[in-house]
Chains A and B, each alone.
Chain A
Amino acid sequence: SQELEQSPQSLIVQEGKNLTINCTSSKTLYGLYWYKQKYGEGLIFLMMLQKGGEEKSHEKITAKLDEKKQQSSLHITASQPSHAGIYLCGAYTGNQFYFGTGTSLTVIP
């Protein structure tokens, strides 16, 4: 079983639409990281959440951490083609760092 499950696995949205990606852990989260990856390239760090209830925003991307639910959500407002790519959550569970299964986002102009 995966330590970090992301949903949905893939997402196709029209430009301008809002969307949410979820990351759920099977274990207690000690900090949650969000990364974006363009196809076949390295990962770009988006933001890190450390405390339950914490919420951070960067441009049109907002992420929240719900420790009680062992879950984080990433919300994109008014999506643009530049938002397309694979979004990955990552977290330490105990001493090991795991990445989520990934969500592939396509934004149709």
Chain B
Amino acid sequence: ETGVTQTPRHLVMGMTNKKSLKCEQHLGHNAMYWYKQSAKKPLELMFVYNFKEQTENNSVPSRFSPECPNSSHLFLHLHTLQPEDSALYLCASSQTSGQTYEQYFGPGTRLTVT
């Protein structure tokens, strides 16, 4: 499945680094999402973009900064992260945000903060 791609697949960064995660969808969808998956915790929704507009921010710390330049691309800019931010970060897309459309997920970026 290559509908939603994420790069890099693995990332190790120090707490003072600045890095970005990239997500691209080739499905013609209009909504994109960032999720965080930590060990032994449910998937946590971080941000939602619908038609390039941010529609949801689930109290995510400001050290995570999303950017959606168009409906096909979504970025997550990272700076001064903490070790507890180490997790699998998943991107997803759907036709639009809402109750009737399933989300398609990318393979994730495994982030380790040292």
Residues of A with Cβ closer than 8 Å to B?
A: 2, 4, 30-31, 33, 35, 40-45, 48, 50, 88, 90, 92, 96-102
Contacts and interface: CB of A to CB of B under 8 A. Distances in A.
B4 interface: yes
Interface residues of B, number: 19
Given A42-B105, A44-B105, 9 more contacts: A41-B108, A42-B6, A42-B108, A43-B90, A45-B102, A50-B100, A96-B45, A99-B43, A100-B42
A42 B90 contact: yes
| Majority DSSP secondary structure for residues of A touching B | strand
- Lowest 3 CB-CB distances: which A-B pairs, in order? A42-B105, A99-B43, A43-B105
Contacts of B107: 41-42
B110 A40 contact: yes
Interface of B: 1, 4, 6, 42-43, 45, 88, 90, 92, 99-100, 102-108, 110
A37 B98 CA distance: 22
A30 B103 CA distance: 15
B99 to A, nearest CB: 4
Contacts of B105: 35, 42-45
